[in-house]
Amino acid sequence: MRRVAGALVPLLLAALVGGCTGVPSASAPETVEPLDTQPATNSQPVPPNLGGDPREIVTSFLTANASTTGNHNTAVAYLTRAARSHWSDDTATIIANDDTVSTPDPRTHTVTVVGRVLGTLNPDGTYTPNLQGLGGGGDKQPFVFEVAGAPGRYRISKLDAGLLLTDTQFRTTYQQHVLYFYDLAERTLIPDLRWSSLADRAQLAESLIGQLAAGPRPSLQKAVSLDTLPAQTDVRQITVTPANPNLIEIPGSSQLDATVRDRLAEQLAETLAEPLAGRDMAITDGGKPVIIPSVGGNIFAASDFTAIAGPQLPVSEVYYLNGGRIRDENGKLLAGPLNEGAPLNSFAISRASAAGPLLVAGVTGPPASAHLEVGTERSGLRPASVQGTLTRPAFVPGRAEVWIGDGPKVYRVSVTDAAPHVDAVPIASPTGGGQIVALRFSPEGSRVAIVVAGVGGSQQLYIGSIVRGAGPVRIDRVEQISPPGVVIRDVSWLDSARLFAVGYYAGSQEGHTFETGVDGSEWTNVGLGNLPDPPDNVAAATGGNVWVSSGGFVWKQSGSNSWVSPGLTGDTPGSAPVYLE
């Protein structure tokens, strides 16, 4: 996974979202130049340069916005005393690199920065994409800085943004981390992605524990359990002392039940594996060791809890259709009864456990009245009671259970040698109940990526959380992460933090591939390279190559924007590639 640190983990950022006062309508024309701010590359603060003119003061302030020290003392030095009392660095606004900074306006005593907003970082380290245009920030907007003082003593007296970061500063200074929360059944850990600029490992670890105590992002609040940390935990009393082992002081932790202490240790081990460099940890309460029953002592590490971090990843096997029949990556037909019966339009294939049989779900028939069939390599495919405008099916990792979209509805279907059982899946839908075009599960199975068709040909990408608790299994808090200027045809998970999608620009119909963080961060638009046509399906897996179908052939990614059609004869006819789930 590309910018996710180690096993995934979170944090506090800095920043501001900001409204702006606007550009004075009566101002004289201003010269604008590219904003040249270099991101901080280490944790040592750069002494402030306070003798510049108003423009230099503003640009120096913006450079100091990119800090890895946990505070912004250098940036604060460029503000007047009154401005310091109103300025906050606990949120951030991320703007594109084509921003500009004006020369000072002598009549209004302002310097204006103009930029395209890509997204914002919230106080809890979560990222919110701007969702404009093609993902490049939409229209430019002004950020106005009032500057007071005299030559040699200029300071910023009023500003409408907290931290204002260019995309380069953000990508260089901030890293993505992961908090882990237990699902409602307390069987599996669910990742919650955050961003942090902290470089100091102990500071970062303490911040992450504070975020655990504060709870998950809103979209996960109904999907996770919150009973591991002691009730009424005062995060100010939680400390991390680098040592061997690293000591994590959590007041009240010794009073937790044995099973809760086990879960707390696992939660901390996975969340802090990267910040603490994979070294051993120990929880203390009042300086005294806290026993973790499952490890038979007080010292533990992430490697002690591998079974609970999610389903084991299957072997990276690729399959595709040719003539409606399933073939493996080498073009060999899948043997047995699964390739008998009506030709398939799309399919999914899984092995719910290492020793279990192959499971397959396939869609047959005309697009408007397609049928779902499911079965195993022993029994072959048999009809399920799902018929309509169907998506490609998708298996839940580690479960003998396949999901499929039918118009605006979602169904989950058991897949065994017995007759399939079908349940409707309630879905929170801010999309207006549009037709579901595609759905794919995250590697741990707790989140789902959904493509939904809206009005005017729009097809957007959403992320929802899976709630498995009391009542029916449901999809909760569906949130859009794709910009409205693109149309998404299909999507797949590169890993727990990133997605790969295929589609085209809404205005020009120009085909593209897209890559994005699961929170909508770092959205990228890439051309088709040597693909003959815009791809219609995509398959990806952690550690595997991306596969697509395009122009009647299947293709495997080779390099950032190059594709090869595997097989001894060159181009390989086929469609609907999938990885073993």
Residue-wise pLDDT for 81-134, tens only, equals 999 999 999 999 999 999 899 889 999 999 999 999 999 999 999 999 999 989
Over 90: is that where the pLDDT of 511 sits? yes
Query: Residue 13: its pLDDT value, please?
Result: 29
Alpha-carbon gap, residue 483 to 524, rounded angstroms: 11
Alpha-carbon gap, residue 224 to 226, rounded angstroms: 7
Query: Residue 307: its pLDDT value, please?
Result: 62
Q: What is the mean pLDDT of residues 235-259?
A: 94
pLDDT band at 206; cut points 50, 70, 90: very high
Query: Residue 7: its pLDDT value, please?
Result: 35
Sheet with 380-388, strands from edge to edge, namely 346-350, 359-364, 370-376, 380-388
Could you tell me what percent of the chain has a pLDDT over 70?
89
CATH number of 318-579: 2.120.10.30
Picking from 18, 70, 373, the residue whose alpha carbon sits closest to that of residue 198 is 70
By mean pLDDT, which of 234-238, 308-312, 496-500 is the weakest? 308-312
Mean pLDDT over each residue of the chain, to the nearest integer: 88
Query: Residue 45: its pLDDT value, please?
Result: 57
Over 90: is that where the pLDDT of 570 sits? no
Q: What is the mean pLDDT of residues 458-463?
A: 95
Over 60: is that where the pLDDT of 43 sits? no
Task: Copy the structure tokens of residue 49.
Answer: 């340069």
Q: Residue ranges of the alpha helices (H) in 215-359?
A: 258-271
Query: Residue 504: its pLDDT value, please?
Result: 96
Query: Residue 305: its pLDDT value, please?
Result: 85
Over 80: is that where the pLDDT of 32 sits? no
First-to-last CA distance in the chain? 18
pLDDT band at 34; cut points 50, 70, 90: very low
Q: What is the mean pLDDT of residues 278-290?
A: 96
Parse the chain into domains and list their residue ranges: 32-173, 199-308, 318-579
pLDDT band at 193; cut points 50, 70, 90: very high
pLDDT band at 2; cut points 50, 70, 90: very low
- The pTM of this model reads 0.88
Residue 320 CA: distances (Å) to CA of 198, 297, 316, 577, 581: 44, 49, 13, 4, 13
The number of angstroms, rounded, from the C-alpha of 484 to the middle of its chain's C-alpha atoms is: 18
By mean pLDDT, which of 196-200, 315-319, 558-562, 567-571 is the weakest? 567-571
